[in-house]
Structure formats: structure tokens, C-alpha cells
Amino acid sequence: MQTTVNHPSGIVVRRGERGDIAALTSVFYRAVREGAGPEYSTEQRAAWAPAPPEVEAWDKRLTPQTVFVAELGGVIIGFMSLKTDGYLDLAFVDPEHIGHGVAQILYDRLETHAREAGLDRLYSDASARARILFERNDWVVDSEETPVIRGVELHNYRMSKALTDGA
């Protein structure tokens, strides 16, 4: 299985490594705080990401997952992670690179991996911005959710995609 993919845009997609986690926490924090609007209010974004996540906590969270990172010029500009049961856990792009196809490039690699791993379906709790990407890739909204994080109500979408005809 190929672990690194180069794109004409200069973006390199590769498997994430433990040494990437600090950069991933930074991308996550910036993506939520700067890139998630106007779909989420300032209060909602602050509740979602009050500070960059602790590296140790994310190491525990991400180690059992398959993580793909997108790099440009050796700098991580986005990432996606997949649990073994097909749950797409995290999907974030640095705000300076939103709208430039980074999420699609990552998603294509992640779905290819899921199919190679024999998964029947993908599912996720998608943000408003991720919903756009997922619907463009034939996902469906199963339900609208309103999780409460740090006392603040947010909104997201339980979504899924069958990868086989029988799923």
C-alpha cells in the first residue's frame, strides 16, 4: 500500500506519525477558531476549542487511528483520521488553505484506504463545513445533532456513506 501521494498542486499526503501530533493540534485549533465561521458563532468556536488540545491526550486519541496528513512545503496544512470501524473522527484544514482542495485530497486518500481495508461504510459527526465536503462525496445526513460542549449548544450532522452495495 502506498503511504505517500504527491499531487500536482505540490501537496503531499502521507500517513501521520506520532511526531506530527503537536502540528495537528495547532491545525485543529486554528481551523476551529478561524476557519469554522460563519457557520459557528465566536462563543461556539471558543467552546469547541478553548485552547489547542494537549499533545498527550491527542497522542492517546490518534494512536489507534489511521491518520493522513497533507503537507505543503514540508508544513502540515490539514489532516483526517479514521477509526477501525469506519468512523471519520477528525477532518481539519488550516484556515489559510481552506477552499484550495486540501480536504478533498485528504478525503480521497482516506476513502481509498477505507475501501482497501474492507470497510463497508464510513460515518461521522460532521461540522457544517465538513458536511459540504461529505455531501459532495455522496454521503447522506442521517440526523441533525445539537451537542452541548462546555455549556454551549453547537450543531452538527450524523452522516454516513455506504462503501459497498450491501451496506
**What pLDDT does residue 2 have?**
45
Task: Please report, rounded to a whole number, the percentage of residues in the chain having pLDDT higher than 90.
Answer: 87
**Beta carbons within 8 Å of 86's beta carbon, 6+ residues apart:** 114, 119, 120, 121, 122, 123, 163
pLDDT of 18 higher than 90: yes
- Name residue 4's beta-bridge partners: 14
Residue 167 CA to residue 145 CA, distance in Å, equals 23
Give 7's pLDDT tier (boundaries 50, 70, 90): low
- Which domains, from first to last, does the chain contain? 4-120 (3.40.630.30)
Does this model's pTM top 0.75?
yes
- What residue type is assigned to position 101 of the chain? G
